[in-house]
Amino acid sequence: MKRNADPMFARLTIAAALAAVALTPAAAQDAAPATAATPDAAYRNNPPALPPEDIRGNPEHMLALDLSTGGRVVIQLRPDVAPRHVDRIKTLARLGFYNGLTFHRVIEGFMAQGGDPLGNGTGGSEMPDIPSEFNGLPHVRGTLAMARSQSPDSANSQFFIMLLPRLSLDRNYTALGRVVSGMEFVDRIQRGEPPANPSRIVQASILADGQPMPPASALTENVPAAAGAPVTADDLNAPIGG
């Protein structure tokens, strides 16, 4: 995906913002610390469906997104497969970078993209872009992946959450986690490119930090999204191409 001309992202500097190109959901922006462990190629290409026991359910590797659509989305991160990208998401969440940002590109039956401080698909953090960590995690419903521009090594802060499977993205974008609870709040994200009334990330946090959810009054929208069509078994099983 691109940072905005379809989901991908460019860096958040004035120069980059002026010269930025549109991106799609394959945007990834950020480089992880040199200490991040790098999984071997065989493991990255064929990772287990469930993370190792020391990661599975570990609050240090659980991302919480409190959305204006009404509640908390919890995402199991996969540092065993994409350590640099996981480190970036965690760092930005802990800095409060994502708080208040919108989902600026949301395509019915595809994905919801956010994490751009400019809100138009061309922005990112001031941190350096991240080298790609393409892997064998499939882009199925609930997968979290980083957006990027045309360069494989351009992910920075923008990410997208899959609404339905799109396996053509596998090994072309860095998948780094999957929703384990609260997918109904992702389904309620306002559609559009951009949406007329974009949904917001009210608060992003790491569960280990014990950040309480904002009050219910903060998790509301002036114009709630229209109810989408129910997801069927055919939607989840259909072979979906580019």
Q: In the chain, pLDDT over 90 holds for what percent of residues?
A: 74
Domain 14-34+59-209 classification at class level: mainly beta
Q: What is the rounded radius of gyration, in angstroms, for the C-alpha atoms of the chain?
A: 16
- Residues shown for the chain: 242
**Residue-wise pLDDT tens digits, 98-120:** 999 999 999 999 999 999 999 99
How many angstroms separate the CA atoms of 6 and 122, rounded? 11
Mean pLDDT per block of 10 residues along the chain (242 residues) reads: 48 37 41 54 92 97 98 98 98 98 97 98 97 97 97 97 96 98 98 97 98 96 78 71 52
Domain range annotation of the chain: 14-34+59-209
How many angstroms separate the CA atoms of 47 and 192, rounded? 33
What strand order describes the sheet that includes 143-146? 103-107, 111-114, 159-162, 143-146, 175-181, 72-77, 62-67, 201-206
Structure tokens at 72: 């908390």
Element (H, E) at 71: none
Structure tokens at 178: 């999957």
pLDDT score, position 240: 53
- Mean pLDDT, the chain, rounded, equals 86
pLDDT score, position 237: 73
User: Apex CA 203: angle with CA 212 and CA 181, to 5°?
Assistant: 75
Closest CA relative to residue 121, chosen from 204, 202, 21, 28:
21
Contact partners, residue 2, CB within 8 Å, separation at least 6:
8, 9, 22, 23, 24, 25, 26, 27, 121, 147, 148, 149, 150
